[in-house]
Structure formats: structure tokens, C-alpha cells
């Protein structure tokens, strides 16, 4: 499940807060505990970077979809305009034929 950038940031901050509290409560942390904590922080940072990359990709895809939708809308508007012009011409031709 994709997490938002804000959720990832909150997760990282919460992890850092837990690390600070843990370090403060335990007094002097051992090298193994610090390494474990650093590993968790590095993983949270990597997760945040991945989420940022996914968000950027989703943003690009949305921009492309919007562009395609605008092109489709322009094409539909052109087709409608042409259809109305053709309808007007047919009506004029019909009326002209009826007067003869």
C-alpha cells in the first residue's frame, strides 16, 4: 500500500523520537543497539525515498492522463462543431430544394 510523503515523514520522525527516548531511558546504548537503531532509521529513510519516487511517478502519470484527456476533449469539440456545420448545410440544402 502506498503511503503518502507526509505519512512517511511522520513515520521517520516517530522512529527518531522513539530512538531518542530509548537512548535516554536506557542510559548508554550499546554499539549493537545503536547499529540496530541506525539500520531502522536508514530503512525508514529508504522507504521515504521510495515513496517520494512513487509519488513523482504518479504525478507524471496524472499529468500525462490530463494531457490526453484535454486532447480528447478538444477532438470531441472539433467533431461537434463540424457536425453542427454539416447539419446547418444539410438544412439549407433541404430548404433550397423545397423552394424549387
Give residue 1's pLDDT.
44
Q: Which residues of the chain have pLDDT under 70?
A: 1-3, 5, 22-29, 100
- pLDDT the model gives residue 28: 58
Tally of domains in the chain: 1
What grid cell was written down for 5?
Answer: 510523503
User: Is there a contact between 79 and 36 (Cβ–Cβ < 8 Å)?
Assistant: no
* Confidence at residue 5, expressed as pLDDT on a 0 to 100 scale: 67
pLDDT, one tens digit per residue, over 1-28 is 455 767 777 777 777 777 777 666 555 5
The answer to whether the pTM exceeds 0.85 is no
Domain range for 35 is: 5-99
Amino acid at each position: 500500500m502506498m503511503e503518502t510523503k507526509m505519512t512517511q515523514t511522520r513515520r521517520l520522525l516517530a522512529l527518531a523520537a522513539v530512538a531518542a527516548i530509548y537512548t535516554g531511558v536506557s542510559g548508554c546504548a550499546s554499539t549493537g543497539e545503536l547499529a540496530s537503531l541506525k539500520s531502522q532509521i536508514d530503512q525508514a529513510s529508504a522507504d521515504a525515498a521510495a515513496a517520494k519516487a512513487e509519488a513523482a511517478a504518479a504525478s507524471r502519470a496524472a499529468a500525462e492522463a490530463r494531457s490526453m484527456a484535454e486532447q480528447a476533449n478538444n477532438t470531441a469539440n472539433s467533431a461537434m462543431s463540424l457536425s453542427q456545420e454539416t447539419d446547418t448545410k444539410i438544412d439549407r440544402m433541404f430548404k433550397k430544394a423545397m423552394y424549387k
